[in-house]
Amino acid sequence: MPDASLVLGIETSCDETGVALARIHDDRTELLVDAVASSVDEHARFGGIIPEIASRAHLEAMVPTIQRALGEADVDLGQVGAVAVTAGPGLVGPLTVGAAAAKALAVGLGVPLHGVNHVIGHAAVDEMVHGLFPERVMALVVSGGHSSLLLVDDVATDVTELGHTLDDAAGEAFDKVGRLLGLPYPGGPHIDRLAREGDPGAIRFPRGLTAAKDQARHADDFSFSGLKTAVARWVEARQDAGQEIPLHDVAASFAAAVADVLTAKTIAACRRHEVDTLVIGGGFSANSQLRELATRRCAEAGITVRIPPIRYCTDNGAMIAALGAAVVRRGLPASPLDLAVDSSMPLTQVTV
C-alpha cells in the first residue's frame, strides 16, 4: 500500500541520473537513500556536457538507478506515496527522460506526481541535513549552470529571486579558467586543489558588479565573465613574455575573487532583508574557498550559515525528494500528467 509520507525523487536535469527516497516526519524530512548514476566521464573529452549523450545515459540508467535506490533502502516500490521530478530548469533532452519516467511511475503506482524546480531543490536538500527551514532564509545556489540569490519565505510556495548571474555561472567560470590553465574538464575541482597551495592575494583580479555605480541595479546580481577574461589576459601576458605561469597563485587569486563577490553580496542581501539564516547549495558550493569564506564572514555577521555536505551539493535525487517532501508536507495539489519540462523554468516557480 502506498505510504503518503514516502516520496521518491527523480533528477535528470544535466548529466546525473538521481533517484532518492525521503520520509516525511512531523519535525523533519529524512533521507532514506540517494542513488546517483553519472555520465560525466563520457563528456570529459568534449570539454562540456553533450545533451544527447546525457539523455541516452539517463534512459539506460533510469530503471537500474530506481532499483538500486529501492534495494538500498529496502523499500518496495508499492510503498511510494508520491513521485517528485525535476521539471526544470536544465537541458530539455535529459529533463524529458526524467519527467516521462516519473509520470509512468505515478500512473503505474496510482500516486500523485509533483514537478519541482531544480534550483530550489539545491536549497531544499539542506532540510534533510540541518533540519526544516526557519520562517525565512536566504539561499545562494551556485553551480555550473546557476548563480542565484533567493529569498525563501517558504521553500514550497514562496521564493523570490533577488538576483542571478548576468553572464557566466560561478562553476562555469571555474571550468573556463580551468581550460585556459590547461586543466582537465571539469576544471572546478582542479582549481580548488591548486588554489589551496597558492596565495589568494598574489594577483588582484576584478570583483564584478561590486562598484558603487552597480549597487542601484545589480546589488544582488553577479558577473563572472569579466573576471574570467581578466585571468585570461593576465595569463596570456605572462605567456607572451615567456614567463612561467604561477598556477597555484592564479588559481588562488581567481578563486578568492569569486568567493569574495559571492559571500560579500550574499551577506549584504541578508542584512538588507533582515534574514539571519543562509543556505548555500549547488555543485559549486563544494568549492573550499567559498565554504571557508562564507563560514568566516557569516560568523562575523552573526548569520547562521547552512551548507550541506558536498555529496548533497551536486545534482542528485535527494534534492528533488527533499523539495517533493516539502510540497507533500504542505498538501499542495499534484502536477498534471501532461506537465511539460521547462529548460528555463523561472526560479520563482517552485512547482508545476
Q: Is position 146 annotated in a ligand binding site?
A: no
Q: What's phi and psi for 81, nearest 5 deg?
A: -100, -15
Nearest CB to another protein, comparing residues 118 and 306: 118
Nearest CB to another protein, comparing residues 50 and 166: 50
Q: Is position 143 annotated in a ligand binding site?
A: yes
Strand, helix or coil for residue 1: coil
- Within 10 Å of residue 243's Cβ, how many Cβ atoms? 9
| Closest to 62 in 3D by CA, of 98, 8, 89 | 98
Nearest CB to another protein, comparing residues 10 and 303: 10
Q: Is position 118 annotated in a ligand binding site?
A: yes
Q: CB 113 → another protein: shortest distance, Å?
A: 8
Q: CB 302 → another protein: shortest distance, Å?
A: 41
Q: CB 294 → another protein: shortest distance, Å?
A: 30
Q: Is position 235 annotated in a ligand binding site?
A: no
Strand, helix or coil for residue 325: helix
Distance CA 237, CA 203 (A): 13
Q: Is position 199 annotated in a ligand binding site?
A: no
Distance CA 95, CA 347 (A): 16
H helix or E strand, kind and range, residue 116: strand 113-117
Nearest CB to another protein, comparing residues 190 and 297: 190
Q: CB 176 → another protein: shortest distance, Å?
A: 9
Nearest CB to another protein, comparing residues 50 and 301: 50
Q: Is position 287 annotated in a ligand binding site?
A: yes
Q: CB 224 → another protein: shortest distance, Å?
A: 14
17, 57 contact by CB (below 8 A): yes
Q: Under the rule (CB under 8 A), what is the footprint of another protein?
A: 45-48, 50, 52-53, 55-56, 58-59, 62-63, 66-67, 77, 92-93, 96-97, 99-101, 103-110, 179-180, 229, 232-233, 236-237, 337-341
C-alpha cell read off for 112: 500523485
Q: Is position 142 annotated in a ligand binding site?
A: yes
Q: CB 296 → another protein: shortest distance, Å?
A: 33
Distance CA 43, CA 107 (A): 33
Strand partners, 152: 137, 159
- Report the C-alpha dihedral over residues 66, 348, 92, 127, rounded to 10 degrees: -20
Q: Is position 282 annotated in a ligand binding site?
A: no
Nearest CB to another protein, comparing residues 27 and 240: 240
What Cα–Cα distance (Å) separates residue 118 from each residue in 10, 148, 247, 265?
A: 10, 12, 34, 23
Q: Let me know how long the chain is.
A: 352
Query: What are the binding residues for Fe cation?
Result: 118, 122, 315
Binding residues for substrate: 141-145, 175, 188, 192, 287
